[in-house]
Amino acid sequence: MGSPQPLGTISASVTLVGGGGTASLGPTRVREHWQLSSASVAANQNPTNQAQCKLYVGSSVGTATFVSQTVTGSSGDTCGLGGIDIQSGQRVWAVWSGGDSGQVATLSIIGTYTIGAPS
């Protein structure tokens, strides 16, 4: 397996419709692994409606993959992910609800990646 390399700036965005939306990020290359340090979410700094945002890590959104929730999903918050290792087919999901429709919500990830078997 190669040495861990910084992911760089990794982010995904979604326009909130009806106050909600989902953005996700994850490895796409064969044998690629991400070691997740943290995730941050934000939509707009001065919201009329402060969105909630739930984070999930895994192959889908569900009870078993739930990691964290914030009540400041619009003005922004960060969640530590403690080095969770994910591989191709798994993702970090941010699911917003109750926010301002039409706002662009963004999920950003900090961590490293490796190519090969996990350590």
The more confidently predicted of residues 1 and 58 is: 58
Has residue 108 got a pLDDT over 70? yes
Reading the block at residue 46, the tokens are 């001065």
Cβ count within 10 A of residue 64: 9
pLDDT value of position 38 = 94
Whole-number pLDDT of residue 44: 86
Task: List the 91-97 sheet strands across, edge first.
Answer: 21-25, 91-97, 52-58, 66-70
Domain ranges of the chain: 7-113
Q: What is the DSSP letter of 47?
A: -
Say how many C-beta atoms besides its own lie within 10 A of residue 115's C-beta: 14
Interval 66-105: pLDDT, tens: 999 999 988 889 999 999 999 999 999 999 999 999 999 9
7-113 carries CATH number 2.60.40.420: no
Per-residue confidence (pLDDT) for residue 3, from 0 to 100: 87
Nearest residue to 49 (alpha-carbon basis) of 70, 74, 13: 74
User: pLDDT > 70: what percent of the chain?
Assistant: 97
